Structure 1
Amino acid sequence: MDDLENELRPPVQFNEHNDSLDNTVTQKKKRSRLPLAEPFMPAPPIKTSLDRTTRLCLERIRGAMLHHRWQEAAEYMACYPQMLQDRNLRRDVCDKEMIRRISIEIFHHHPNSNMDDYNVIYEQMKHSGVTQYLMICLEHIFHLLLNGQFENAKRQLSAAQSWRYGKESARQHQKAKLIQAYSSLLDYIIWCDKKNAPGKSNFTDPGSNQEMHKYFRQAAVNLKEIIKHPGVWDPFILSYVEMLEFYGAQEEAKKVLEDYAYDSTFPANPNALVYLYQFLQRHDTSKTKLMKVLKVLHYLVPSHELMLDYSYFLLRSEKTGDIQKALGVVLDMLDYACWRTSLDVWKCLKDVIDKLQLHGDWKDDVAEKMAARKEWWPALHFTRLLATEDALQRPQLMEVKSSLTKIFCPEITLTYSAGQIIRDERI
């Protein structure tokens, strides 16, 4: 429903006392103050009474959908395609796309719709033209997967993979890759079902193990090819790595994750670094390699929850420079309101300060980090309202933060203190 305002053209104001169509079309309309996107397709000039009736029918469908009258919308929708028979070819493609989207939306919300209805409308739309064939196939496959019809989805994927239509095949190269990727994902799902089948042991039952391996090979061949193309392939990467780990191919799985995380041709993706870090943790990798991954993740997402791990890695180092880095990492986390009441993050900050105080120039390090923060940081963390809430709901946090107020805000008189709260209550 989000795109209907753009896809369905705005209502035409018909003048009951004036039959002139030109006056109707050129009538000045009140512009919306909202930043609306470009319309899905421009409204054509009204030339015949059939155009007028078609536009009116579309408005009735729009109104019924906006008011959730799905039965009424379905009845109007049954008539609407019949009115498009005399439209030219250029408009025909747009109209078919609009009919497809509206029909699926109505079916999705209609109380009496069922899977047979969905399958019929998808099959009709697939064969109404070739320009959107693969996209319609993908939508159909998603709907089947969401409803647990894996076998039917597998058949649809096989049909879509074998689809060829002249130059259209080359134009839809990206969609063909998605079809190939989801086919592999479905092979992975079947592989998981067989691996986790109750009452069967994949190692003692050669037949079951062989069938599992068949689905692994099918999925691996396609996934290995797919992930060579730059993009965000998170669910496919995780599926591939899980299968490789199951068969003991840890080095290959590690290379897949490293390529996905560090290949400069791929878009920056923090998830790729998280997956690599979690893999390295599972296989007892050295602290140095773990810190290398977290360093890049800190550059991309300084507020990520794994930055707490990164801070403790740096804190355990004997190098003064690493302790200073830990201070910067924790402060970067606390720049975001989501960590404002996190006891673990504030405890980590106190641990960093305690270790930093063993060095003579620690005040300079703190002043350097706080130079760009002193104007707004106290208002984020040390207000009277926060002091009241922390004292009542988070006393441990109150204790930790109170011990740090003078260190991070030495030039400001703060109302954030347990003593201030007690004095206010007595007053």
Structure 2
Amino acid sequence: MSVVSLETPRETGFHKTTRNCLQHIREVLLHHRWQDAAEYMASYSQTLEDTTANMPQLYAEIIWRIGTEILHHHLDSTLEDYNSFYERVKHSGVKHYLKVCLEHSFHLLVNGQFEDAKIQLSIAESWRYGKQSAGQSQRISGFLDYLIWCDKKATTSNEYDAAVNQEMHSYFRQSSVNLKEIMKLPGVWDPFVLSYIDMLEFYNDHEGAVKVLNDYAYDDSFPPNPNAHVYLFRYMKKQNHPLKKLLKVLKILHTLVPSHELMPEYCSLLNEGDLQKALGVVLDLLDYSSWRSNLDVWNHLLNIIKRLRMKKQWLKIFAEEMGYRKDWWLAIHFSTFQARKDSAENRELLEVKSFVVGAFCPHCK
């Protein structure tokens, strides 16, 4: 009788190296060190050469998702960098070919490269690979109708042109049907959602736009997607929705990404009522190296402290929010080395931090 081995296959040196590399990428992303992330990603791209069964597809998706995020945030990213990256990812595996084409097309569109965006859609439309290409027609049609609609909108004269407006509305209806069907499928459909919202907003269907964004953000069958909450917040803010609703959206975003660029704004909005929550948000931000020398964030903390110290429960509130930080927070932010650095680079920041440490730890001054 043969015995089936239940042991996990031994990890090769290559796999261990790539696993460690991915861990480094995650760490620098958490601290918004985009240049370091780009350098690690260049090394991690070697995983596409791995011949282990099913692994190249996984590596390709990781590179696509994380690489796109790095490009979006890296200050030196150019359109040529995006084009080169998307072309490489498209041909690294067939599983995501269509989605990458559509994402590439949308990126070209928002950067004013309308004709290049249509070319990318044409490439996607002609692509075939067994079951992987099944159902692509609806996605492409919806996005292509949107591109044509954009073109009609851009060329419409200031004077009322009934024919052009009728044609625009026809493409709007066609695109709406397809985009609605696409967004019924669980997944990350950011370009499609933004396209649909653009059209709904043009026709002043603000209620419909909010419903689409709410469904996209709160449908439990969809994967967690911070962008969905960002889109919802920004649209609701533009439409002057009540503060309570805005705070609800940012609360979830804070849970997903406590270091997000919208968190200082969340803190400002909380300052109008929930000071303890505002304190927690700003302390979370200062846990990340990318925010630790940000004067605006420290000023938020300073203002919160000034207002909280007027309350009898001030020390209790502070102790609750400091929690697990109490053993290391002062050492990170107020070391002798950090004080010299702040003194040389930003005297105003040094003064704000001096006030903060005096409030938190009077005997440390």
Q: Please give the TM-score of this superposition, normalised by the length of structure 2.
A: 0.67
Q: Which residue of 1 aligns with 2:283?
A: 331
Q: Which residue of 2 aligns with 1:193?
A: 151
Q: Is the 8 A contact 1:307 1:333 kept in 2?
A: yes
Alignment of structure 1 residues 310-349 onto 2, 5 Å: 310-317=266-273, 322-349=274-301
Does the residue aligned with 1:369 lie in a helix, a strand or coil? helix
- CA drift of 1:153 comes to 5.1
- CA drift of 1:138 comes to 7.2
Does the residue aligned with 1:373 lie in a helix, a strand or coil? helix
Structure 1 Cα separation of the partners of residues 343 and 264 of structure 2: 24
Deviations 1:115-164 (A, max 9, x none): xxx9xxx9xx9xxxxxx7x977777888899694555555555556xx8x
The one-letter code sitting in structure 2 at the alignment partner of 1:353 is I
Q: Which residue of 2 aligns with 1:376?
A: 328
Q: Which residue of 1 aligns with 2:138?
A: 180
Deviations 1:231-285 (A, max 9, x none): 0001110110010010111111110000000111111111101100001011110
Q: Is the 8 A contact 1:144 1:150 kept in 2?
A: yes
Q: Which residue of 2 aligns with 1:223?
A: 179
The one-letter code sitting in structure 1 at the alignment partner of 2:307 is K
Q: Which residue of 2 aligns with 1:391?
A: 343
> Any unmatched runs of 5+ in structure 2?
1-11, 19-53, 55-86
Residue 350 (1) aligns with residue 306 (2): no
Highest RCO, 1 vs 2 (Cα 8 Å, sep ≥ 6): 2
Alignment of structure 1 residues 239-250 onto 2, 5 Å: 239-250=195-206
Distance 1:140 1:354, change over 3 A: closer
Q: Which residue of 1 aligns with 2:16?
A: 35
- CA drift of 1:286 comes to 0.6
Deviations 1:80-103 (A, max 9, x none): xxxxxxxxxxxxxx9xxxxxxxxx
Alignment of structure 1 residues 154-165 onto 2, 5 Å: none
Q: Is the 8 A contact 1:302 1:333 kept in 2?
A: yes
Does the residue aligned with 1:241 lie in a helix, a strand or coil? helix
The one-letter code sitting in structure 2 at the alignment partner of 1:378 is L
The one-letter code sitting in structure 2 at the alignment partner of 1:395 is R
Structure 1 Cα separation of the partners of residues 261 and 350 of structure 2: 21
Structure 2 Cα separation of the partners of residues 309 and 369 of structure 1: 19
Structure 2 Cα separation of the partners of residues 316 and 151 of structure 1: 47
Structure 1 Cα separation of the partners of residues 97 and 325 of structure 2: 51
Q: Is the 8 A contact 2:98 2:136 kept in 1?
A: no
Deviations 1:327-369 (A, max 9, x none): 1111111111111011111111111111111111201211222
Q: Is the 8 A contact 2:118 2:147 kept in 1?
A: no
Alignment of structure 1 residues 18-167 onto 2, 5 Å: 32=13, 35=16, 148-149=115-116
Of the three residues 227, 237, 242, the one matched with 2:193 is: 237
Q: Is the 8 A contact 1:157 1:179 kept in 2?
A: no
Higher helix share: 2
Distance 1:154 1:378, change over 3 A: closer
Structure 2 Cα separation of the partners of residues 315 and 142 of structure 1: 38
Q: Which residue of 2 aligns with 1:267?
A: 223
Structure 2 Cα separation of the partners of residues 242 and 176 of structure 1: 27
Residue 361 (1) aligns with residue 320 (2): no
Q: Is the 8 A contact 2:104 2:117 kept in 1?
A: no
Q: When the two structures are aligned, how many residues end up with a matched partner?
A: 280
> Alignment identity in percent?
46
RMSD: 3.4
Q: Is the 8 A contact 1:341 1:397 kept in 2?
A: yes
The one-letter code sitting in structure 2 at the alignment partner of 1:295 is K
Structure 2 Cα separation of the partners of residues 400 and 252 of structure 1: 45
- CA drift of 1:323 comes to 1.3
Distance 1:139 1:395, change over 3 A: closer
